[in-house]
């Protein structure tokens, strides 16, 4: 199993290309099940989760071709992938596939809308929390679906004639349930209004793509989304938006090590709240023509408190990385996690590097220390693992991160991007 060795101590200088967003690419790929025409996605990141979803969509009947020529944009390589699902050959998403990646559960929306039925395995819990699916069930039921749970599967059927537009207000904000409800409603009869919808940029990206396919969606990016159902969707060509979590991660890495880096091909407006927190911690951040410049020279890292929240709040997907940064601050900071109940597994691992963190309920208290010291640590989930990389970049000596398959789910060519900016990061294959 691969590991990553980081030898701490170097500043970061140079250019880091930002990839397409994993969390936009996944729902966009799933949207290809809504049409028998070809959906072409540009700027698709090369990640383990994307490859897994390609297998899942193939199982439903999608014909998928990856553009062999990698599209060069600055120093970045992105892929263009064509998805054509002339016929849905299987409306079942089996446990073996859904259990590997929670987002694959989202196929329930398109399958139900296009075929009138879906049998999808319950995804189960995962390392960061129990992650129930009640909101999906209630939302689809509001569109008229009959839903039964049987032997770990959800069996959903649409009324004869198809799903029926309705008004539904989510009792809690959910990114995934918003994606699914929006996709399902595109082919429903009549108008659907989703209240308390997730406002994440990835929801807006999906709505833009669906509209390019002929859907009639307004309000994405606000908490009320309206969808006028259409009878069919066509193909389209769509570019996946930049990864705001990757952007924030590297911005925090630069804030941690010091240095001067251009994050290329991204957009500061995707992560205002997180960038503001990094600024308050002492880094200078300025938008450039092609992305964002992050630099910190001289001054130390200041303690900053953050609370995670749905967009436009501070993203839970950057919480672990910010904690990594705060381990070296000059004082005491607090980080409160409000989205997932068990998203603090990095605390024990950061402690192995010398961090001083105490947990009280959903709040971590971080007492900054003047130095961290390299040690063997274990990745526990995607974002937790990259917080260990950020800490390792300034730890004295070597930090060896094991179980890096977690990193490969969501960070494209991480070691290459960091090494090019002067870090000493090496993948070790046993
Ligand atoms: C998406 O997950 C992201 N995944 C997550 O990123 C991200 O952490 C999360 O949104 C929050 O921003 C993808 O986009 C592929 P939710 P999702 O439904 O949609 C509860 C990463 O590291 N909930 O918005 O699964 C849920 O338990 C990943 O890239 C219910 O109670 O998250 C959580 O507490 C990890 N019932 C809260 O809502 C439901 O039916 C928000 O979850 C659904 C969700």
- The DSSP string of 162-212 is --B--EEE-SS--HHHHHHHHHHHHTSBSEEEEES----HHHHHHHHHHHH
- Please check whether residue 129 is in contact with residue 105, taking contact to mean a CB–CB distance below 8 angstroms: no
pLDDT at 299: 85
**CA quadruple 259, 264, 269, 274: dihedral, nearest 10:** -40
Please give the distance, rounded to the nearest whole angstrom, from the Cα atom of residue 94 to the centre of ligand 1: 21
Please name the residue whose Cα sits nearest to atom 3 of ligand 1.
23
Cα–Cα distance for residue pair 145/163, rounded to 1 Å: 7
Please give the distance, rounded to the nearest whole angstrom, from the Cα atom of residue 369 to the centre of ligand 1: 32
Mutate to test the pocket of ligand 1, among 21, 23, 103, 124 (most ligand atoms within 8 A of CB): 23
Task: Kindly state the tokens that stand for 358.
Answer: 């105490």
Residue-wise pLDDT tens for the chain (430 aa)? 889 999 999 999 999 999 999 999 999 999 999 999 999 999 999 998 999 999 999 999 999 998 754 444 444 467 899 999 999 999 999 999 888 888 999 999 999 999 999 999 998 656 666 678 999 999 999 999 999 999 999 999 999 999 999 999 999 999 999 999 999 999 999 999 999 999 999 999 999 999 999 999 999 999 999 999 999 999 999 999 999 999 999 999 999 999 999 999 999 999 999 999 999 999 999 999 889 999 998 889 999 999 999 999 999 999 999 999 999 999 999 999 999 988 999 999 999 999 999 999 999 999 999 999 999 999 888 899 999 999 999 999 999 999 988 898 999 999 999 999 999 999 998 7
Cα–Cα distance for residue pair 27/430, rounded to 1 Å: 34
Please name the residue whose Cα sits nearest to atom 44 of ligand 1.
174
Please give the distance, rounded to the nearest whole angstrom, from the Cα atom of residue 392 to the centre of ligand 1: 28
pLDDT at 73: 46
- Please check whether residue 381 is in contact with residue 356, taking contact to mean a CB–CB distance below 8 angstroms: no
Mutate to test the pocket of ligand 1, among 24, 30, 131 (most ligand atoms within 8 A of CB): 131
Backbone angles phi, psi at 167, to 5 degrees: -105, 130
Q: Indicate the burial class of 371 (C-beta count within 10 angstroms; 0-12, 13-18, 19 or more).
A: exposed
Please give the distance, rounded to the nearest whole angstrom, from the Cα atom of residue 131 to the centre of ligand 1: 7
Cα–Cα distance for residue pair 140/163, rounded to 1 Å: 9
- Ramachandran assignment for 236, one of left (phi > 0), alpha (psi -120 to 50 degrees), beta (any other): beta
Please name the residue whose Cα sits nearest to atom 26 of ligand 1.
131
Q: 215-221 long-range contacts, Cβ below 8 Å, gap at least 24?
A: 215/186, 216/186, 217/182, 217/186, 220/182
Cα–Cα distance for residue pair 160/157, rounded to 1 Å: 9
Please give the distance, rounded to the nearest whole angstrom, from the Cα atom of residue 176 to the centre of ligand 1: 6
pLDDT at 297: 87
Please name the residue whose Cα sits nearest to atom 14 of ligand 1.
23
CA distances from residue 399 to 149, 253, 380, 424 in whole angstroms, order as listed: 45, 15, 15, 11
Cα–Cα distance for residue pair 414/399, rounded to 1 Å: 15
Please give the distance, rounded to the nearest whole angstrom, from the Cα atom of residue 292 to the centre of ligand 1: 27
Index of the ligand 1 atom closest to the CA of residue 202: 14
Index of the ligand 1 atom closest to the CA of residue 381: 22
Q: What element of type H or E holds 239?
A: strand 236-239
Index of the ligand 1 atom closest to the CA of residue 310: 12
Task: Kindly state the tokens that stand for 282.
Answer: 């002492």
Mutate to test the pocket of ligand 1, among 56, 198, 339 (most ligand atoms within 8 A of CB): 339
Task: Kindly state the tokens that stand for 249.
Answer: 């991660």
Index of the ligand 1 atom closest to the CA of residue 383: 22
The SS3 call for residue 32 is: helix
Within 6 Å (CB) of ligand 1, which residues are found?
Answer: 23, 26, 102-103, 129, 131-136, 172, 174-177, 316-317, 339-340, 382-383, 410
Backbone angles phi, psi at 74, to 5 degrees: 65, -125
Please name the residue whose Cα sits nearest to atom 16 of ligand 1.
174
pTM, entire model: 0.96
Q: Residue 314 forms beta bridges with which residues?
A: 308
Active site residues: 126
Whose CA is closest to 111, among 56, 66, 47, 48? 56
Mutate to test the pocket of ligand 1, among 20, 154, 176 (most ligand atoms within 8 A of CB): 176
CA distances from residue 106 to 83, 122, 170, 282, 418 in whole angstroms, order as listed: 17, 11, 17, 40, 33
Cα–Cα distance for residue pair 262/260, rounded to 1 Å: 7
- Ramachandran assignment for 245, one of left (phi > 0), alpha (psi -120 to 50 degrees), beta (any other): alpha
Please name the residue whose Cα sits nearest to atom 1 of ligand 1.
175
Please name the residue whose Cα sits nearest to atom 43 of ligand 1.
133
Please give the distance, rounded to the nearest whole angstrom, from the Cα atom of residue 222 to the centre of ligand 1: 18
Please give the distance, rounded to the nearest whole angstrom, from the Cα atom of residue 106 to the centre of ligand 1: 12
Q: How many CA atoms lie within 13 A of 379 on its CB side?
A: 26
Cα–Cα distance for residue pair 314/137, rounded to 1 Å: 27
The SS3 call for residue 267 is: coil
3-state secondary structure 356-424: EEEEECCEEEEECCCCCECCEEECCCHHHHHHHHHHHCCCECEEEEECCHHHHCCCCCHHHHHHCCCCE
């Amino acid at each position: 199993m691969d590991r990553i060795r980081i030898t701490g101590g170097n500043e970061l200088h140079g250019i880091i290309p930002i990839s397409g967003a994993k969390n936009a690419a996944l729902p966009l790929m799933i949207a290809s099940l809504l049409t028998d025409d070809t959906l072409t996605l540009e700027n698709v990141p090369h990640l383990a989760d994307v490859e897994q979803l390609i297998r899942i969509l193939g199982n439903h009947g999608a014909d998928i071709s990856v553009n062999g020529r990698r599209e060069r944009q600055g120093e970045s390589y992105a892929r263009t992938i064509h998805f054509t699902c002339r016929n849905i050959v299987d409306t079942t998403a089996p446990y073996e596939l859904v259990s590997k990646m929670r987002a694959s559960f989202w196929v329930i929306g398109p399958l139900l809308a296009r075929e009138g039925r879906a049998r999808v395995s319950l995804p189960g819990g995962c390392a960061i929390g129990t992650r129930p699916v009640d909101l999906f069930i209630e939302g689809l039921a509001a569109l008229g679906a009959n839903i039964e749970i049987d032997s770990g599967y959800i069996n959903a059927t649409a009324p004869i004639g198809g799903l029926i537009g309705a008004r539904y207000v989510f009792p809690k904000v959910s990114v995934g349930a918003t994606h699914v409800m929006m996709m399902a409603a595109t082919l429903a009869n009549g108008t659907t209004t989703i209240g308390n919808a997730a406002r994440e940029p990835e929801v807006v990206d999906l709505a833009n793509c669906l509209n390019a396919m002929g859907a009639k969606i307004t309000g994405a990016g606000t908490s009320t989304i309206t969808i006028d159902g259409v009878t069919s969707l066509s193909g389209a060509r769509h570019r996946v938006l930049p990864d705001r979590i990757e952007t924030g991660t590297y911005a925090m890495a630069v804030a941690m090590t010091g240095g001067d880096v251009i994050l290329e091909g991204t957009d500061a407006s995707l992560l205002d709240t997180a960038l503001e927190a990094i600024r308050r911690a002492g880094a200078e951040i300025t938008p450039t023509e092609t992305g964002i410049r992050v630099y910190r020279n001289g001054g130390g890292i200041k303690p900053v408190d953050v609370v995670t929240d749905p967009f436009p709040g501070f993203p839970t997907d950057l919480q672990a990385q910010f904690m990594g940064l705060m381990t070296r601050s000059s004082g005491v900071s607090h980080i409160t996690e409000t989205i997932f109940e068990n998203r603090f597994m990095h605390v024990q691992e950061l402690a192995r590097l010398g961090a001083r963190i105490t947990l009280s309920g959903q709040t971590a208290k971080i007492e900054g220390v003047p130095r961290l010291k390299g040690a063997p640590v274990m990745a526990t989930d995607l974002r937790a693992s990259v917080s260990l990389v950020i800490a390792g970049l300034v730890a004295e000596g070597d930090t060896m991160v094991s179980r890096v398959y977690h990193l490969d789910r969501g960070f494209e060519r991480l070691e290459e991007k960091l090494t090019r900016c002067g870090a000493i990061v090496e993948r070790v294959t046993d």
